[in-house]
Amino acid sequence: MINVPAWEDIAVTPTARRRATVVLFCFVFWSIVVVTRLAQYMIVQRDHYLRQMSRESVVHGRVPSRRGRIVNRDGRVLAWSERRASAKWRVPADASLALAHRAQLVSVLDTPCLPGEGALRGLAGTWVPLSTDLTAKQFVALSNLSLSRSELILRTSFIRRRCQASQRILQIIGEVREEQGELHGASGLERANDALLCGHSGIFEVMMDRRGKWMLETWRELHPMKPGYDVRLPLRIDGSESGTSQ
């Protein structure tokens, strides 16, 4: 049977006491360093790191305003805007991944919209337009795919201007051009009344997850979108002029 001496019977040498003191001092010093660094991160540099995190995870976007209509004196619409959705796909460099992405896109879009399997290798790393006239059903289906925003971009700010009038009236109405997703008058009455027709775009912010997809529950409107005003022209339906525009 082994006799274990009591704790008070064990002699503590000066060397052991010094070692215990050094170990205790190192532990206390390490604790002070850790607590100091935590205090620096959480109190002193907290705002800086929060701004860095927000800059990386929060994106801002614009909601283009609907351009006002141009109507004649009888109320017939001569020029109007239609909102369209478009999509483009970045072909992965990896051939197997490109085929997997293409298979997902084929389940939503028509095959003629997509490049053939044999052409994928030559398009690796490039952006390929898929469609400039997506239906609402196609847009929702593409949004639910497992592709990130670095692989598939859906654009909902695509707006097309339509006109229905005689060639002479079309020359009077003029043309529009796109600037940063918005339509602005380039000539004719479109340009002369641009301040009334163009409206004001809305601004929003939303957070992105680690895959680059929007977290819809974090979407927040910063400035509401204001559509443009309609402009009524003193023109009859047959296109004859009766004065200047108002």
For residues 225 and 123, membership in a common domain is answered with yes
Same domain, 94 and 170: yes
Tokens of residue 72, six digits: 């004649």
Q: Please measure the distance between the N-terminal and C-terminal CA atoms of the chain and give it in whole angstroms.
A: 114
Gyration radius (Cα) of the chain, Å:
33
What distance lies between CA 34 and its chain's CA centroid? 39
Q: Check whether residue 17 and residue 73 sit in a common domain.
A: no
Number of domains within the chain? 2
Same structural domain, 65 and 24: no
* 29 in the same domain as 83: no
Same domain as 159, residue 69: yes
Sign of CA dihedral 132, 133, 134, 136: positive
Whichever domain contains 108, its CATH number is 3.90.1310.10
Q: For tokens 């072909």, what's the residue?
A: 91
198, two tokens: 């163009």
Domain that holds residue 95: 57-232
Tell me how long the chain is: 246
Element (H, E) at 131: strand 127-131
Mark whether 39 and 74 lie in a shared domain: no
In angstroms, the Cα distances linking 129 to 57, 63, 206 are 27, 21, 25
Output the pTM of the full model.
Answer: 0.51
Would you state the pLDDT for residue 128? 82
157 occurs within a structural domain: yes
Give residue-wise pLDDT tens across range 144-187. 887 776 677 776 656 778 887 778 888 888 888 888 767 888 88
* Same domain flag for 39 and 65: no
Residue among 62, 66, 67 at smallest CA distance from 203: 62
Kindly report the average pLDDT of the chain as a whole number: 77
Structure tokens of 207?
């957070």
Residue 237 in domain: no
Residues 111 and 213 in one domain: yes
Whether 94 is in a domain gets the answer yes
Q: Which residues pair with 158 in a beta bridge?
A: 84
Is 55's pLDDT higher than 70?
no
